[in-house]
Amino acid sequence: MRKSIALGIAAVFVSGGVALAVQQGAAAKKLLVKSPPSGNKKIVYLSKNTTATLDLSYNDPISFGASFFIDIAGAAGGSQCMLLPSSGWSPIGTIGRKYKDPTLANGPVKVALIKQTPSGNFLLKVIAKSSAITFDPGGPTTSYNTNFKINGGGDEWCASNGTAVPTTNDGTKFLVKDDDGTTCVAACSSPSGAFLDLAPAF
């Protein structure tokens, strides 16, 4: 069973109260990084578990926006920060948010989803497809890390290479399924904070 792990804690003030922002494990049910000859690269990240949680009282990307950081180690690997601004988010279900940017006006991420069902299932998904993805799968990839963060002091959900063996691992495609790594690396950041959606003043 995948375990949600609190690796770091930061105090965040929400509506006069205090919430605790944490780092949670969100191991990759699927991670695909693809670089075809056409140059239209693709990233698919999916995490599904029963241990991670979503508290919209301080984790609402409609108010704060979000970011997705991915790092691929290897001969041609690299890292990239992808922004998902608040304007692209909308409600879905009782506890959930969905991001859409069909024209890729804000960057490579086309669709994203974060939700928790009444039965306790947690789902996080990011799909990016664009020539604006700046790195290749690695060929072969030795390790990877992802960090999905709600801006404005929200939680982070992390995945990393664990015990699963990639089914494809070369210079044009990396694919791993049902992995169990949950090590957190730093989320997207900016020295000035200028490119991240900021929390509203209370």
Residue 94 lies in a domain: yes
Question: Environment class of residue 26 by beta-carbon count within 10 Å: exposed (0-12), middle (13-18) or buried (19+)?
Answer: buried
Kindly list the distances between the CA atom of residue 164 and the CA atoms of 5, 108, 170, 177, in Å, as whole numbers in the listed order. Answer: 19, 27, 16, 7
pLDDT the model gives residue 19:
57
Residue 161 lies in a domain: yes
Residue 4 lies in a domain: no
Residue 17 lies in a domain: no
Tell me how many domains the chain contains: 1
Domain that holds residue 156: 28-177
Could you list the pLDDT tens digit for every one of the 202 residues in the chain? 333 333 333 433 434 444 578 999 999 999 999 999 888 899 999 999 999 999 999 999 999 999 999 999 988 899 999 999 999 999 998 899 999 999 999 999 999 999 999 899 999 999 999 888 999 999 999 899 999 999 999 999 999 999 999 999 999 999 999 999 999 999 997 533 334 444 333 2
Residue 140 lies in a domain: yes
**How far is the C-alpha of 69 from the C-alpha of 88, rounded, in Å?**
18
Residue 95 lies in a domain: yes
Amino acid at 145: N
pLDDT the model gives residue 1:
37
Any long-range contacts for 1-9 (C-beta under 8 Å, 24+ apart)?
1/49, 1/50, 1/51, 2/27, 2/49, 2/51, 2/180, 2/182, 3/51, 3/182, 4/49, 4/51, 4/52, 4/53, 4/182, 5/182, 7/158, 7/184, 8/156, 8/184
Its pTM stands at 0.86
Residue 155 lies in a domain: yes
pLDDT the model gives residue 5:
37
Residue 195 lies in a domain: no
- 110 contacts: CB under 8 Å, gap ≥ 6: 100, 101, 102, 104, 127, 128, 129, 130
pLDDT the model gives residue 189:
75
